[in-house]
Amino acid sequence: MFDTPQRQEQALTVTLLTRVVQELIENEFGSVRIVGEISNYKLHSSGHRYFTLKDSSAQLKCVMWRSRNPSVELYDGMRVYANGRLSVYAAQGVYQLDCTSIQAAGAGDLFVAFERLKKELDEAGYFSPTRKLRLPAMPQRIAIITSPTGAALQDMISVIERRLPTVEILLRPTIVQGDTAPADIAQALRDVHTVKPDVIIVGRGGGSLEDLWAFNTRIVADAVFLRTIPVISAVGHETDVTIADFVADVRAATPTAAAELCTPVRREDLYYTIDMITDSFHERIRELHGDAMLVVDDFLHENISRRLRSLIAVHQKSLQHDISAMTSRLGLHHSHLQQSLTSIEETVRALHPLAPLRKGFALLERDGVVLRSSDELTVNDTIQLRREYGTHAARIIE
β-partners of residue 279 are none
Average pLDDT over residues 228-233: 95
**Distant-in-sequence, close-in-space partners of 264: CB < 8 Å, separation ≥ 6:** 135, 137, 138
- End position of a domain, from candidates 241, 261, 281: 261
170 lies in the same domain as 276 = no
Q: What per-residue confidence (pLDDT) applies to 344? A: 86
- End position of a domain, from candidates 228, 261, 294: 261
290 lies in the same domain as 316 = yes
163 lies in the same domain as 214 = yes
99 lies in the same domain as 159 = no
**Residue 212, Cβ density class (10 Å: 0-12 exposed, 13-18 middle, ≥19 buried):** buried
pLDDT at 8 over 70: no
| 67 lies in some domain | yes
Q: Which amino acid is at 261?
A: L
Q: Quote the domain boundaries for residue 376.
A: 355-395
Q: Name the strands in the sheet holding 168-173, side by side, starting at the edge strand that comes first in the sequence.
A: 168-173, 141-146, 199-204, 231-235, 250-251
pLDDT at 23 over 90: no
| 387 lies in some domain | yes
Report the chain's mean pLDDT, rounded to a whole number: 85
380 lies in the same domain as 335 = no
pLDDT at 303 over 70: no
β-partners of residue 97 are 62, 86
What letter would DSSP give residue 29?
-
- Provide the 10 A C-beta neighbour count for residue 317: 10
Residues in the chain: 398
| 130 lies in some domain | no
| 140 lies in some domain | yes
- End position of a domain, from candidates 261, 291, 320: 261
232 lies in the same domain as 278 = no
Say which residue, 136 or 282, is predicted with more confidence: 136
Per-residue pLDDT band for 51 (boundaries 50, 70, 90) equals: very high
178 lies in the same domain as 275 = no
Asked if residue 248 lies in contact with residue 272, where contact means CB atoms within 8 angstroms, the answer is no
What are residue 93's phi and psi, to 5 degrees?
65, 35
Average pLDDT over residues 132-142: 90
Which range has the top average pLDDT, 67-71, 295-299, 370-374?
A: 370-374
| 93 lies in some domain | yes
Among 105-109, 113-117, 214-218, where is mean pLDDT lowest?
A: 105-109
275 lies in the same domain as 178 = no
pLDDT at 7 over 60: no
| 3-class secondary-structure state, position 125 | coil
CATH code of residue 245: 3.40.50.10550
Per-residue pLDDT band for 84 (boundaries 50, 70, 90) equals: very high
What pTM did the predictor assign?
Answer: 0.51
- Give per-residue pLDDT as tens, 263-297: 877 666 666 667 778 877 878 888 888 777 776 66
The closest of 51, 50, 54 to 35, measured between CA atoms, is 54
315 lies in the same domain as 346 = yes
Number of domains comprising the chain: 4
